[in-house]
Structure 1
Amino acid sequence: MAETPPPTERIITRIIEQEMKTSYLDYSMSVIVGRALPDVRDGLKPVHRRVLFGMHEMGLAHNKPFKKSARIVGDVMGKYHPHGDSAIYETMVRLAQDFSLRYPLVNGQGNFGSVDGDNAAAMRYCVTGDTLVVTEKGLVPINELSTSENTNVKILSKDQQTHTASKWFDSGEHPTRKITTTKGYSLQGSYNHPVLTLTANEAGKPIFVWKLLEKVTEGDYVVLDRSQALWPHTEVNLEKFYPSFEHLRVKRVLPISLDEDLAFILGALLAEGFIGEKKIEFCNTDRAFVKAFEEAWKRAFPDSTLHRFERKPSSYGKKPYSRLECHCVATIAFLHSIGLPAAKAREKVIPSALFQSPQHIAASFLRAYFEGDGSISSAPKMVELSCCSVSSKLIEQLQTFLLRFGIDSFRRYDKHRTIYKLYLRGARNILKFSQNIGFFSERKNAKLDHVILNYKKDYSQTDYVPFISDYIRSLGSSSFVAKHNFDRYPAMQKNYALISEVIQTQTGQSQASLFEYFITHNYLFEQVVSIQEAGIQPVFSIKVDSDCHSFVANGFINHNTEARMNKLAEELLQDIDKDTVEFVPNYDGSLKEPSVLPAKAPNLLINGSSGIAVGMATSIPPHNMNEVCDAAIKTIDKPTLEFHELLSVIKGPDFPTGGIIMGSSGMIEAYKTGRGKVIVRAKTHMEENKNRARIIVDEIPYMVNKSQLIEAIAELVQEKKVQGISDLRDESDREGMRIVVELKQGANSDVVLNQLFSHSRMQETFSINLLALVDNQPKVLSLAEIIKHFIDYRALVVRKRTEFDLNAAEDRVHILEGLITALDHIDAIVNLIKNSTSADDAKRGLIDKYKLSEKQAQAILDMTLRRLASLEQTKIRTEHSDLLKLVKELKEILGSELKIRGIIKAELYELKEKYGDARRTDIRAGEAAALEDASLIKPEEDVITITHAGYVKRLPSDTYKQQRRGGKGIIAAETNDDDFIENLFVANTHDSILFFTNKGKIHWLKVYQLPEAGRYAKGSAIVNLLQLGEGEKVTAFIPVKKFEQGKFLFMVTCNGTVKKTSLEEFSNPRKGGIIAINLEEGDELCSVMLTNGSQDIIIATEKGMGIKFNEKNVRPMGRAAAGVIGIKLRKDHVVGAALAESKKTLLTLTEKGYGKRTEMSEYRLTARGGVGIINMKITDKNGKVVSIVTVSDDDELMLISQNGTLIRTPAKGVSVIGRSTQGVRVMKLDEKDTVISVTKIVPEDTA
């Protein structure tokens, strides 16, 4: 027994088709309204609106500091748009692109993409994988910081702050740049990667500025952190580095963690050791150092024997030396695994585990390394510690490592000795080395102490705070300030208090906090001396949960991209806090967001919009601010503005990338009807260079990718589709675009240019579809309608704003009237308040005695005593008087539609003044000439295939290689299961194909205009190649080699009309097609045949009638004629027509799957215009006739049913029987299914 559903369940039975239809419609409207289409009022889609409103809520005005992109995206996503950060960031990027928007709404700081198609930088910083980030785990390469996007690690930020990195991103491969400083510190990152720099503001004051790597120039001061903050506290566990002991005879005791002993061993081996595949050696002349190494080894590797050999002097300074060796396989494998591989000396690096060790362990490593490879030298005015290595990477790592101890150093290359050196100079660095690291040997430490004790000079030529001396001295003058240095840290520490006191005495402002900031954070300011392109590399980034979003890596302080609104965006948001727009709940109901912005500027037209919804798309081009504002002003002045008057103001689209619009017919059509096309060309000029011409491309069509355009032109040259070009290069820079096309000597520049326009995207067709939401419904609008909607909306906003201001003014007048009453009776009111038992009692007394409202009484009680002063009283009365005037003005505005329109005009004039600029896109009179010049197209034979579903393509005829008899053949086209090749023929590239539609129109295509595709491609839809109207579809096509005399087009309509027109009448192609036959209302063109003027025609009807007559009975007519009666119908209609060829039979098919073949001789020849004879006997069993076709025995047929069932059958399988018969079953159908068509097909394997 079936289980009964619980009574709480509600099950609704629905037909699946109806449910899918409803769901799809709901989804469609959701996409249309909530995602893809702009609102006609503010020209924004929801995500654009949310980004701008989110930035507004964050206070990111055009004159406020930039905010991190990740912060903006996170805020918008969390509050208003929970659909992933990519959509939000991409939206913000587009709003900032000056090549996408005519008037950008976002001011982006960083790489926000380019006209070359470069992707916008990730909203986060991006550095190369080997960059060492300062974390709670030590110095970690950023590519090893995490294995997943979500992470949780403490990192060091600007000003020695510790924050959490919550996200880790592999940002993919990007072009990178490397900057190197005076001392050799370097950083590699993406062009958009910001680093902290120090510069001087207009007053000369040193300030921090974030600069992108692409903006950093030689001489800039970058900021490096050399604090000792944030070190690991636990030793690194080493068990993961243990080798497998399965194949070893002896299992060795290995260190569990990286302690000071192992760190000492690693430092000594990197400095003075040799690491081989089967042996480790350590050599040194200092017996104490050797002994220390032995003792550390015994503690770290107690059962790994270390062999000692005493050697006579050789290359070690002519001194005897000791050599220690270990041959234990497990120990050697462990050291290899930990980061000491058997590599050449120039490939040595510091094991990564040391970077992640506590400071005292790192110090043990450095102590051993400097003991073995370091030296100390001094002079009366100089002291220097140094070390050297043939490994560049090792020296670079040491430099970064030392910075974590607060020690800066110089990195240099000795080209004579071909080694890299690291120098530590200056008393502060030497002292820190002594205190935090030191040498192992007493001799070196004693020398170090002696140098420090006797080194009196504490002055560095390179370690100072730039700009501060000039700035301080510009504020005031004194002998002390002029005499003493204070830009070096020791001098600053010593003198800043007295200097600050002097400056404060002279200016009234203390600079102590400025000095104290630099002293506290002790930054190293390094000048950039080298900027290099570092190639395309994988880059990585992290999200830091802090306001500054900064992190320290390779010593540099790093940052991410930032953004804020442009001033124009603020115009769109102006008055949003004055109840001018409706606010609706956000996605979770926790907040409110605007359903539309007040939009002071006509954003839909000035910036345009594009988007694809379900079943519809919008494509609105951008326009010029001056022209749009002028058009709106003219419309306000004259609401019945004529179309030609509107076009006298708005010349046409004004694209941000410039270009030239060719002609105006498509533009005028778009502005009238909402749909049209414009042709946009690149703007070029010619130059002569050494007897050769060159084409210079200055501007390209809107939304064309410059890099891809250049690549495409290069391919055209290589494929010889464009000839006459010798060289192609991009010389574009920040000054503008410049693509240079060098021509071969003798090349015709006009021909080459036309070839480029024809074959490349130097000429583009921009489709215009002025589709926008009006009252949340999609609507195609004319230009005048868009302007009218904007004006009406602005009138509503101005009215609501005025009402808000009026209410606020009246509320204030009301309060002021109460205060004036109090001032007029001040003594009595003071006594009343003094004698009241409470504030509520006093309020009640004021209300009752002076007829005040509660708000007025409360305002009097809140009034301070200083308001009783005569000057304050005057201010109150003046404010009251001014507000009364304002109230009167506001009421006059609300009472006059003319005044409201006047305010809109004034605002439009203001917009013109602020943002108006010259047109960028030129408009050239006359339509673009047809560039498909047949003389430039090579004549050749192509094979054309057309499928039943209306897909067409062409292939070179040599694709089909000649085969011997019995060959298998090759596939002509790959088709879907529900499609098949209906026609295949050979035509020359210069031949024409005439396409006829059900509306009686004819369209032309040259064969070379058909898409060329491979054998397995299905081609392109014919409807996409022709400019068809709504409800228009192709019903017939005729290939034509020549439009010659003696050839005719014979047309048959569904209502039985026939027409014969000379083929020559159609020899002049027209864009968009022309009328081939004038149809009566309700009639359609159903069949077209190419004839010789004397052939027999047969026409069949739905009710089984047929007529056969010679076409000589139909006189030739002109294109404008409507035709004559071909067959008289009695509540019937024509289903098809064909040439009555005597060697073929006529196949007739009915809706219930019955069919027959009948010899042509069965049909007697009659005059046209008769009712005809019986073609097929129609009964309830076989149903109405749906199709006819002439066939021979070798033909194959495809039958198609209403439900999409297809059956393939040979024609000879259908019986040849008489006219007045019911036919035989050809196709078995399901209940309620019917046959809709039959057609001859081309075999899949075409020999």
Structure 2
Amino acid sequence: MKEKGVIEVNIEESLKESYLDYAMSVIIGRALPDVRDGLKPVHRRVLYAMYEMGVLHNKPYKKSARIVGDVIGKYHPHGDSAVYDTLVRMAQDFSMRYPLVDGQGNFGSVDGDSPAAMRYTEVRMTKIAEEMLADIDKDTVDFNPNYDGSLKEPAVLPTRIPNMLINGTSGIAVGMATNIPPHNLTEVINALVYMIDNKDYRDDDILKFVKGPDFPTYGIIYGKDEILKAYKTGKGVIKVRARVKKEVTTTGKELLVITEIPYQVNKANLIEKIANLAREKKITGIVDLRDESDRDGIRVVIEVKRGENSDVIINQLYKNTQMEIAYGINLVGIVNNKPKTLTLRDLLEQFLDHRKVVVIRRTKFLLKKAEDRLHILEGLIKAVENIDEVVALIKSSHNANEAKEKLMEKYDLSEAQAQAILDMKLQRLTGLEIEKLKKEYQETLKNIEFYKSILNNENVLMGIIKDELIEIRDKYGDERRTEIVSNAEEINIEDLIPDDEVVVTLSYQGFIKRTPLTNFRSQKRGGKGKAGAISSKDDFIKDLIVTTNHSTLMFFTNKGKIHYLKVYELPELARDAKGKYIANLISLDSDEKVAAMISTKEFDREHFVFMCTKDGVVKKTSLDAFSSGRSGIIAIKLREGDEIVDVSLISKNDLIFISTKKGKCIQFNSSEVRNMGRNATGVRGITLDKDDSVVSMEAVKGDPLILAVTAKGYGKLTLVTEYRVQSRGGKGIKLSKVTEKTGEIVGARQVKIEDDVMLISKSSKVIRLSVSDIPILGRDTQGVRLMGLSDEIVSFDVIRED
């Protein structure tokens, strides 16, 4: 039973209604700018409070705290810090293209330094800000009650400048946001003038004048297509870069000097980022970094190591730091109290519409004032023409009211005319003053005629708006700061790095490097080898592949994921260097490690990635399925306890050769394995004995020799034709004789007589052998000693003659 006085409501509807009210309050009253003057309420209130206080550009500065106090006391019932932050931003020449506040004191810096407290700084309006409030006293805009109803504040400013575009703005409301970049005043006004002169203008005509954003911090915008897209749709992303120039010192050192940075980028954070990248060797070739910026401008100096390619360093800086940013354009503003996404054309048209309203209201105000004055002048002139009678009439009256009534009755005057006659000074009776009255009367008539022509003729009205815009352009217009280039002149690192053959080695602990292949010379069979890396007690070279600098490395992890790197992105180090930790180059989980790696130059549909796991599971997936280059995606779905052993790139009908550590092998046609998606598990490739596992997998091409190598340094060549082709999933046949003397099989690879082979031991010894030095033997043999060593061979790879 409902209690008396209790009103039942639907809580869902109540919450929805309350939230919508809140959302619209934030959108309209705080976060988004009005499309007419480009201001949010807090900006408008700050400027109006300064105008009321008379803190104009030619008047003395006043304490910021005094301005803030007036704003929050009269118009903006929020915190003082929010108002002061607004005031500060309007004074920052690196935030505003055309600052609206002239500040004296510390107003922060491009390094992100905080401004001084409001009690220390002083402000006044800039001259251009006063243009935003011009004619506000001529009934040009509506006024609304302030928060407590005690005062009135303007709903919008009668701005003469297209502030929405020239200064831009940003804001996040509920469910929407705006991000409008600043523009050049001259370009915007030239576009407006063209629109006034040409009624049948098109978007492309406007874009001939407004080239693109013009940031206060200069910089370079790359690519015009995104600018055009943003202007025509209201949304887009543009690429903004810092300006870098090259200098050479008297001692021959090459310097890279940053003189301009992208808009809203913190210079101090940018320098710190560059320093960290250089310290971590993610960008090599930087030997010194210093900030030589002063009041004359930005100057960040990067000293380049002798012999380094400075173009590569510049490209890496653009790629890895905020020297290049993506600036998102989102042209959203308040139109008729509703948020709306606008095009450039919409923004310009809305400004012109606002100027029409302002000029019409101003003209009506001036017309009314002129008509009132004309009415008074008619009375004064009539009184002067009959001055003797008027004076006698006034003298004969007992009081002012009687005199007023007599004047109104005798000369057919209005009360206002009669009062003006009574208020007239005796000096107006001189001949000169009488002529002035008549001259003023004629001028007032002309003004009234002019005002009426404005209101009655659209062309005259637009001509007034055009003249005022040209006046603003001539007073405040300046040169464009931000350069716009058609396309990013990106430096292709691959064009700067020779596509030489290199040896890529990956250690058991995960250290990777590349070394020019020429650093390894062929040795005779049985040699002691060269040090391949700095060995440690717990680490040794695990994988080695021979590839080229321009190839893409595909890393397959024990978890069945794939990661990508360009070969040239690996550190090029000496043969005995340790290398760089792989986890610093690709993102790996704490319990994840690289199990196999392959290289390729193209991702096409003609080739397949063929994977084989320790438990004998195989999977074939089209190479183009991995073309996204997104690291961390699934390559194969593994069963519990299984892991990837080997991966090969194959053609459609290649034969697959799988080897096990116990000396078994199987050879079958890859066509027996269907093409599967990346998330598939795979199928059985070989059936293993209980204590056996797969150690290598090869895609056999042609009629090669099979090189089998054991852990204790034995190896042999066997004709591939001795290993018959079987059906997928069988137990296989004997690969090589495995004894205690030979140790278990490390792997089996296909080779040609003209190839070389590189063997890596657990102690990181590396030896390069010519295949022609290794004997060709049958399947059921143990082979000969390839490497004289006391420890074990852990990996080997083939250096193809081609």
TM-score scaled by structure 1? 0.42
| Paired position in structure 1 for 2:450 | 889
Q: 1:598 to 1:1011 in 2, by over 3 A?
A: farther
* Letter of the 2:565 counterpart: H
Partner of 2:269: 708
- Mapping of residues 169-208 of structure 1, within 5 Å: none
Q: Which residue of 1 aligns with 2:431?
A: 870
CA contact under 8 A between 2:379 and 2:418: conserved in structure 1? yes
Check if 1:637 corresponds to 2:197.
Answer: yes
Residue in 2 that maps onto 1:598: 158
1:772/1:781 contact within 8 Å kept? yes
Letter in 2 for 1:621: P
Name the residue aligned to 2:359.
Answer: 798
Once residues 760 and 597 of structure 1 are traced to their aligned partners in structure 2, the CA distance between those partners, rounded to angstroms, is 40
8 Å Cα contact 2:315/2:490 also seen in 1: no
Among 92, 99, 103, the residue aligned to 2:94:
99
Q: Which amino acid aligns with 2:64?
A: S
The 8 Å contact of residues 609 and 618 in structure 1, kept in 2 or not, is answered as yes
Match of 2:7 among 5, 11, 20: 11
Distance 1:672 1:1012, change over 3 A: farther
Task: Write the deviation string for residues 186-231 of structure 1: whole angstroms up to 9, x where unpaired.
Answer: xxxxxxxxxxxxxxxxxxxxxxxxxxxxxxxxxxxxxxxxxxxxxx
- CA-CA distance at 1:18 after TM superposition: 2.7
Post-superposition offset of 1:709: 0.8
Q: Contact conserved, 1:576 with 1:597, CA < 8 A, in 2?
A: yes
Q: Of residues 470, 475, 491 in structure 2, which corresponds to 1:914?
A: 475
Letter in 1 for 2:485: R
Contact 1:757–1:931, Cα closer than 8 Å, also in 2: no
8 Å contact 2:93–2:216 — kept in the other structure? yes
* Contact kept? 1:989, 1:1008, Cα under 8 Å: no
Equivalent pair of 1:940/1:989 in contact (CA under 8 Å): no
Residue ranges of structure 1 left out of the alignment (5+ in a row): 125-559, 942-960, 963-982, 992-1006, 1017-1039, 1050-1060, 1071-1090, 1095-1111, 1117-1135, 1144-1247
SS in structure 2 at match of 1:633: helix
Alignment of 1:387-786 (within 5 A): 560-689=120-249, 690-786=251-347
Distance 1:671 1:1015, change over 3 A: farther
Q: Distance in 1 between matches of 2:342 and 2:237?
A: 15
- Residues 681 and 701 of structure 1 are in contact (CA less than 8 Å); yes or no, is this contact kept in structure 2? yes
CA distance in 2, matches of 1:569, 1:608: 14
- Compute the displacement of 1:940 (Å): 8.6
Q: 2:77 aligns with which of 79, 82, 85?
A: 82
Q: Report the alpha carbon displacement of residue 1141 of structure 1 after superposing the two structures with TM.
A: 8.3
State the 1:23 CA deviation. Answer: 2.0
Distance in 1 (alpha carbons) for counterparts of 2:319 and 2:584? 11
Offset of residue 833 of structure 1 = 1.8
Question: How far, CA to CA, are the matches of 2:681 and 2:483 in structure 1?
Answer: 58
Rounded to whole Å, the distance in 2 between the matches of 1:856 and 1:41 is: 41
Distance of aligned partners of 1:120 and 1:835 in 2 relative to their CA distance in 1, 3 Å threshold: same
Native 8 Å contact 1:660 1:681 kept in 2: yes
C-alpha separation in 1, matches of 2:505 and 2:38: 49
> 1:969-1118 to 2 correspondence within 5 Å?
985-990=560-565, 1043-1046=603-606, 1064=624
Alpha-carbon deviation of 1:925?
2.0
Q: Secondary structure at the match of 1:646?
A: helix
Query: Following the alignment from structure 1 to structure 2, what is the Cα–Cα distance between the partners of residues 843 and 984?
Result: 104
Preserved CA contact (<8 Å) 2:315 2:491 = no
**Is the CA contact (8 Å cut-off) linking 1:934 and 1:990 kept in structure 2?**
no
d(CA) in 1 for partners of 2:590, 2:387: 100
Equivalent residue, structure 2, for 1:58: 53
Contact 1:61 1:564 in 2 (8 A): yes
User: Which digits, 9 at most, give the CA deviation of each residue in 1:783-824, with x for residues without a partner?
Assistant: 111111111110111111111111111111111101111111
Distance, in Å, in 1 between the alignment partners of 2:493 and 2:16 is 44
Identity fraction in percent: 54
DSSP-derived class of the 2:565 partner: coil
Residues 1:817 and 2:378 are matched in the alignment: yes
Q: Give the number of equivalent residue pairs.
A: 560
Q: Quick one: distance in 1 between partners of 2:187 and 2:563?
A: 49
Amino acid at match of 2:111: D
Q: Is the 8 A contact 2:104 2:122 kept in 1?
A: yes
Q: C-alpha separation between the residues in 1 aligned to 2:125 and 2:169?
A: 19
- Mapped to 2, the partners of 1:1010 and 1:873 lie a distance apart of 92
User: What are the Cα deviations for residues 988-1043 of structure 1, in whole angstroms up to 9, with x where unaligned?
Assistant: 2239xxxxxxxxxxxxxxx9999959879xxxxxxxxxxxxxxxxxxxxxxx9973
Q: 1:805 to 1:569 in 2, by over 3 A?
A: same
- The secondary structure found in structure 2 opposite 1:990 is strand
Match of 1:131 in 2: none
Instruction: Determine if contact 1:843/1:854 at 8 Å carries over to the other structure.
Output: yes
3-state SS of paired residue (1:695):
strand
The residue correspondences of 1:126-525 to structure 2 (distance < 5 A) are none
1:101-144 per-position Cα deviation (integer Å, ceiling 9, x unaligned): 000000000001111111111112xxxxxxxxxxxxxxxxxxxx
Q: CA, structure 1 residues 1092+18, in 2 after alignment: closer, same or farther (shift >3 Å)?
A: farther
Q: What amino acid does structure 2 have at the position aligned with 1:64?
A: K
Q: What letter is aligned with 1:987?
A: I
User: How has the CA–CA distance of structure 1 residues 985 and 23 changed in structure 2, closer, same or farther, with 3 Å as cutoff?
Assistant: farther
Q: Secondary structure at the match of 1:572?
A: coil
Shift of 1:1066: 9.2
Q: CA RMSD in A?
A: 3.7
* Residue deviations 1:525-546 (CA, integer Å, cap 9, x gap): xxxxxxxxxxxxxxxxxxxxxx
Q: Say if 1:1012 and 1:882 are closer, same or farther in 2 by CA, change over 3 A.
A: farther
What's the offset of the Cα at 1:691?
A: 2.1
1:24 corresponds to which residue? 19
Q: Secondary structure at the match of 1:653?
A: coil
The counterpart of 1:841, out of the listed 402, 405, 427, is: 402
C-alpha distance in structure 2 between counterparts of 1:860 and 1:72, whole Å? 44
Q: Distance in 1 between matches of 2:559 and 2:379?
A: 93
User: 2:168 & 2:585 partners in 1: Cα distance?
Assistant: 32
**Residues 106 and 565 in structure 1, CA contact (< 8 A), matched pair in contact too:** yes
Deviation at 1:1142, TM superposition (A): 9.0
Q: What displacement does 1:1069 show?
A: 8.9
Structure 2 match to 1:402: none
The Cα offsets for residues 235-256 of structure 1, whole Å up to 9 and x where unpaired, read as xxxxxxxxxxxxxxxxxxxxxx
Question: Relative to 1, partners in 2 of residues 1:1015 and 1:701: Cα closer, same or farther, differing over 3 Å?
Answer: farther
Q: Distance in 1 between matches of 2:267 and 2:31?
A: 27
| Cα separation, 2, equivalents of 1:767 and 1:932 | 27
Q: Distance in 1 between matches of 2:583 and 2:375?
A: 80
Question: C-alpha distance in 1, partners of 2:264/2:678?
Answer: 48
Instruction: Read off the aligned partner of 1:86 and give its amino acid letter.
Output: S
In structure 2, the CA distance between the partners of 1:1010 and 1:821, relative to structure 1 (3 Å rule), is farther
Once the two structures are superposed, residues 1061-1080 of structure 1 have per-residue CA deviations (whole angstroms, 9 ceiling, x without a partner) of 9865995999xxxxxxxxxx
Name the residue aligned to 2:43.
Answer: 48
Opposite residue 38 of structure 1, the aligned amino acid is P
Seen in structure 2, the aligned counterparts of structure 1 residues 651 and 642 have a Cα distance that, compared at 3 Å, is: same
Give the whole-Å Cα distance in 1 for the aligned partners of 2:386 and 2:378. Answer: 12
Alignment of 1:123 onto 2:118: yes
Structure 1 residue 11: Cα displacement: 2.8
Taking a change above 3 Å as real, the CA distance of residues 783 and 816 of structure 1, as seen in their structure-2 partners, is same
1:30-62 deviation digits (Å, cap 9, x = unpaired): 111111111110011110000000000000110
- Deviation string, structure 1 residues 1075-1109 (Cα, Å, up to 9, x no partner): xxxxxxxxxxxxxxxx9999xxxxxxxxxxxxxxx
The 3 A distance-change label for structure 1 pair 894 and 1015 is: farther
SS at match of 1:742: strand
